[in-house]
């Protein structure tokens, strides 16, 4: 790769300075991999489980075993993961509709949830589509304060709504907001705080957070965590899907929305997806580490090129997202175009902003991925609104991540 003297030096410096940061990331990957392997052995994972089923999928031993392994590894009583959950939004929707009933209140304590959940939650303007709002579920939220959960405000809201609160909701990753990501441990503290004041289920949108820390929010008492298989938990191998893990009752209730009441997780053909889902989980801690290294590297490079970044390159990461703020639409678009040009698939394509379903502003996306839209693979996106922040994530290998970041830097510098 041809680099100017400036970029070449910056790249060399980055790799050297990041050494201790990478060591820490590898340590987490090592421990999480050991957890996965121990569970595989415990559940006697074997070749026959990869065969897949058709029709109703009764007695699909692979599916049931993988569910049990997910529960184990994520520190939960129960779990399910399914290839036919279409995305993270649907997985979260399954969880929310599983738990909430007419007259209940959903209280989000990390501000307004991820953009695509707006229509799931609904309001007067979406009346009639079958949102939670249409079914008589009320929504309220508490904004975060100085990057932390505002416990005083949460306390007040819990007292205001009382027993009506059925779900207290936390989003681990920053998503499209400008705030720090919460660690599993911080979320655990919030779960314990809320459980003292309320009988509500404590539910976590774990998208982008899975395997970033040594533990998951469920290890610390969250009732439910939810994630996507084309993000962290699928390890870059799962073709599609999502997971829900948590307490036995919470997961059971969610399973009745996944399929239907009385059926739950007992049916569901896996039509040949099992092997990729098993192997994806096996890969996931390592793949997440690759993505975190790529993010830390991006943070180093772009902060040294003079852009605002979050988080900074030297801190512990609780998700795989890196933001770089460009201040101009051109900056954001050029960054995404550079990432696309440095991707393994569709490197010849030039991304343009478009009105994506579920998002309020036009969004520009770079996704040169093997699995369409998979954001555990190198990808960048951002809504075309001030301050024109790119959300960068993924990278199946650090080597390819580094290459894409350098390509983006070259594009922005006009090299």
Ligand X SMILES: *Cc1c(COP(=O)(O)O)cnc(C)c1O
Distance of CA 77 to the CA centre of its chain: 21
Using the rule CB under 6 A, which residue among 36, 154, 207, 229 binds ligand X? 207
Its sign, for the CA torsion 62, 44, 265, 216, is negative
Residue 310 to residue 296: CA distance in whole angstroms: 10
Tell me if 87 contacts ligand X by CB under 6 A. yes
Q: Which stretch binds ligand X (CB under 6 A): 12-20, 200-208, 249-257, 262-270?
A: 200-208
The residue among 114, 106, 344 whose CA lies nearest residue 206 is 114
Tell me if 255 contacts ligand X by CB under 6 A. no
Q: How far is the CB of 341 from ligand X (least distance, A)?
A: 23
Tell me if 89 contacts ligand X by CB under 6 A. yes
Q: How far is the CB of 228 from ligand X (least distance, A)?
A: 5
Residue 241 to residue 218: CA distance in whole angstroms: 20
Q: How far is the CB of 393 from ligand X (least distance, A)?
A: 8
Which residue, 161 or 276, has its beta carbon nearer to ligand X?
276
Tell me if 175 contacts ligand X by CB under 6 A. yes
Tell me if 382 contacts ligand X by CB under 6 A. no
E strands, 125-248, in order: 138-141, 165-171, 201-205, 224-228, 242-246
Q: Which helix (H) or strand (E) holds 278?
A: helix 274-304
Which residue, 40 or 208, has its beta carbon nearer to ligand X?
208
Which residue, 45 or 107, has its beta carbon nearer to ligand X?
107
Neighbouring C-alpha atoms within 13 Å toward the C-beta of 99: 30
Q: Which stretch binds ligand X (CB under 6 A): 10-18, 51-59, 81-89, 306-314?
A: 81-89
Tell me if 241 contacts ligand X by CB under 6 A. no
Sequence-separated (6 or more) residues with CB below 8 Å from residue 391: 176, 321, 322, 323, 380, 381, 382
Residue 165 is encoded by which pair of tokens? 């609160």
Tell me if 205 contacts ligand X by CB under 6 A. yes
Q: Which helix (H) or strand (E) holds 304?
A: helix 274-304
Using the rule CB under 6 A, which residue among 32, 53, 65, 171 binds ligand X? 171
**Residue number closest to ligand X, CB atom:** 88
Query: Is residue 244 helix, strand or coil?
Result: strand
Which residue, 114 or 388, has its beta carbon nearer to ligand X?
114
Pair 282, 32: CB distance under 8 Å:
no
Name beta bridge partners: 380: 366, 392
The residue among 44, 208, 294 whose CA lies nearest residue 216 is 208
Q: Which stretch binds ligand X (CB under 6 A): 63-71, 85-93, 296-304, 405-413?
A: 85-93
Q: Which stretch binds ligand X (CB under 6 A): 24-32, 86-94, 282-290, 341-349?
A: 86-94
Which residue, 228 or 340, has its beta carbon nearer to ligand X?
228
Q: Which stretch binds ligand X (CB under 6 A): 17-25, 169-177, 306-314, 336-344?
A: 169-177
Q: How far is the CB of 399 from ligand X (least distance, A)?
A: 25
Buried b / exposed e across 263-297, counting CB within 10 Å, b at 16+? Answer: ebbeebbbeebbbbbbbbbbbbbbbbbbbbbbbbb
Q: Which stretch binds ligand X (CB under 6 A): 83-91, 123-131, 275-283, 330-338?
A: 83-91
Using the rule CB under 6 A, which residue among 108, 181, 198, 228 binds ligand X? 228
Contact string 117-156 vs ligand X (x = CB under 6 A): ----------------------------------------
Residue 70 to residue 218: CA distance in whole angstroms: 12
Interface contacts to ligand X, rule CB under 6 A: 87-89, 114, 116, 171, 173, 175, 205, 207-208, 228
């Amino acid at each position: 790769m041809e680099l100017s003297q400036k970029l070449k030096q910056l790249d060399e410096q980055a790799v050297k300075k990041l050494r201790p940061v990478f060591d820490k990331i590898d340590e987490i990957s090592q421990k999480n991999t050991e957890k996965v392997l121990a569970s595989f052995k415990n559940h006697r994972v074997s070749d026959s489980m990869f065969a897949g089923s058709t029709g109703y999928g009764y007695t699909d031993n692979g599916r049931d075993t993988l569910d049990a392994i997910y529960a184990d590894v994520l520190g939960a009583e129960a779990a399910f993961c399914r290839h036919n959950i279409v995305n993270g939004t649907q997985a979260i929707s399954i969880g929310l509709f599983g738990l909430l009933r007419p007259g209940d209140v959903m209280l989000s304590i990390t501000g307004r949830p991820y953009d695509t959940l707006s229509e799931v939650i609904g309001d007067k303007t979406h009346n009639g589509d079958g949102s939670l709002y249409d079914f008589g579920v009320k929504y309220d939220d508490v904004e975060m304060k100085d990057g932390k959960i505002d416990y005083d405000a949460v306390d007040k809201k819990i007292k205001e709504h009382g027993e009506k609160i059925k779900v207290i909701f936390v989003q681990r990753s920053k998503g499209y907001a400008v705030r720090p990501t919460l660690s599993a441990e911080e979320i655990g503290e919030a779960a314990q705080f809320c459980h003292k004041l309320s009988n509500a289920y404590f539910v976590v949108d774990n998208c982008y957070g899975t395997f970033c820390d040594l533990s998951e929010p469920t290890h610390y008492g969250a009732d439910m965590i939810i994630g996507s298989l084309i993000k962290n938990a699928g390890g870059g191998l799962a073709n599609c899907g999502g997971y829900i893990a948590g307490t036995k009752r919470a997961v059971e209730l969610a399973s009745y929305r996944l399929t239907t009441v009385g059926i739950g997780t007992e049916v569901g053909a896996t039509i040949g997806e099992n092997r990729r889902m098993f192997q994806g989980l096996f890969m996931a801690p390592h793949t997440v580490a690759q993505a975190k290294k790529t993010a830390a590297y991006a943070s180093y490079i772009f902060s040294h090129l003079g852009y605002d970044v979050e988080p900074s390159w030297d801190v512990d990461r609780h998700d795989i997202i890196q933001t770089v703020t460009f201040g101009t639409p051109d900056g954001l678009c050029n960054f995404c175009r550079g990432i696309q040009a440095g991707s393994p698939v569709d490197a010849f394509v030039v991304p343009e902003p478009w009105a994506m379903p579920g998002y309020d502003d036009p969004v520009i996306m770079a996704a040169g991925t093997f699995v369409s839209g998979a954001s555990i693979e190198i990808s960048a996106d951002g809504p075309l609104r001030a301050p024109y922040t790119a959300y960068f994530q993924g990278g199946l290998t650090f080597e390819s991540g580094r290459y894409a970041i350098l390509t983006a830097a070259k594009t922005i510098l006009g090299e």
